[in-house]
Structure formats: C-alpha cells, structure tokens
Amino acid sequence: MESLAVYRKIAEQAPFFDTVLMHGSCISVDGEAYLFTAKSGTGKSTHARLWRELLGERAIMVNDDKPLICIAKEGATVYGTPWDGKHHLSTNCAVPLKAICVLERAEQNRIRRINPAEAYPCLLQQIYRPSDTEAMRTTIQLVDRLSGVVALWRLGCNMDPEAAEIAYRAMKGSGS
C-alpha cells in the first residue's frame, strides 16, 4: 500500500513535468515502444505476450501495467516503472514511443489507424487523472500533445498469434 501511495503522489505531480501515467502494456521492439491500452480485462497483457512470442529477444517488456510517458513537442518517451501489474513485467528503461494501440475484442483480427478525436476518449480514460484542477488541465493538454506525436491505432483482436503479426506489421510501418 505504501508503494502505491508513493506512485499516486508521483502521478499527481507528473503533469507538471510533461509526464502522464497511462494504464497499458508497453513493449519495445528494436528500440521503439508500442503501448496497448484498453479497459481492464480486454487482453493488453495477453497481446504483449503474443508480441514477445512472435518477436523473441527483439521484444522487451517496458511495463505491463502503468508506464510513465514523457511528452515533448517532437515526440514521447515511455519509461518502465516498478508498478508493473500482476505479472511483474517491466524493465528499467526509456524508449521512444512509436504508437499507441487501443485494443478491443473481435472475432476477426483487424487493425486501422485512428485520428486523435477517435482515440481521445480512451486515452483520457486510461491516463491517470489528477485530483488537482491545474494538474488535470495540464493532463488534458498533454493528452492533446501525445495524440499529435505518436501514431494511433485501433486493434480488434481475438488473441490468436495472428493478432500480434497483423498489429506488428501495421504499426511497424507507421510514421507518427
């Protein structure tokens, strides 16, 4: 409990340092990070595991639950933290964030680019929302900036290994 209380304090102050905490599973492949976000139970950790199985040693788990994202005008960097979910998968690293992928369950695997307006509700829901009014105002500005510096995707997936192949091929080729 003490550890979570400390992280909450960090998350409350993070926006003043151009940083947000996001609920998601983040993996790095060849020095670029891909973050999967969705409501709890959708399959973020499972999808990240499929990427690790597909890509082997090229894939490094940045954080499986609550990474920090520092957002600059020219891009975003994701950081592994010790607050890494029930599987305790994280690496003490900083990696440029290439894409954020909103997951949803589907019978057929499919992926498509989405625009910031489409991604915004999910991003705002999955980012820690501070209780302080000024910190929350800054968080909203950071979400706007984040959606402009990384590629945004929506993946409908059934958690077959093919889902990871489809997602990786699409997002690897994306520009921000």
Cα 171 from Cα 34, distance rounded (Å):
8
- What confidence tens digit (pLDDT) does each residue in 127-161 have? 999 999 999 999 999 999 999 999 999 999 888 89
Output the pLDDT for position 155: 94
State how far the alpha carbon of 85 is from the alpha carbons of 26, 61, 111, in Å.
12, 12, 26
| Confidence tier at 174 by pLDDT (50, 70, 90) | low
Output the pLDDT for position 47: 87
User: What average pLDDT does the structure give for the chain?
Assistant: 91
85 conformational bin, left if phi > 0, alpha if psi -120 to 50, beta if neither? left
pTM metric for this prediction: 0.90
Query: Do the bridges between strand 110-113 and strand 151-157 make them parallel or antiparallel, or are there none, so unpaired?
Result: antiparallel
CATH architecture of 2-171: 3-Layer(aba) Sandwich (3.40)
- What confidence tens digit (pLDDT) does each residue in 103-120 have? 999 999 999 999 999 999
- What confidence tens digit (pLDDT) does each residue in 67-90 have? 999 999 899 999 998 776 677 777
Secondary structure (DSSP) of 80-139: --S--TTTT-B-S-EEEEEEEEEEEE-SS-EEEE--HHHHHHHHHHHB---SSHHHHHHH
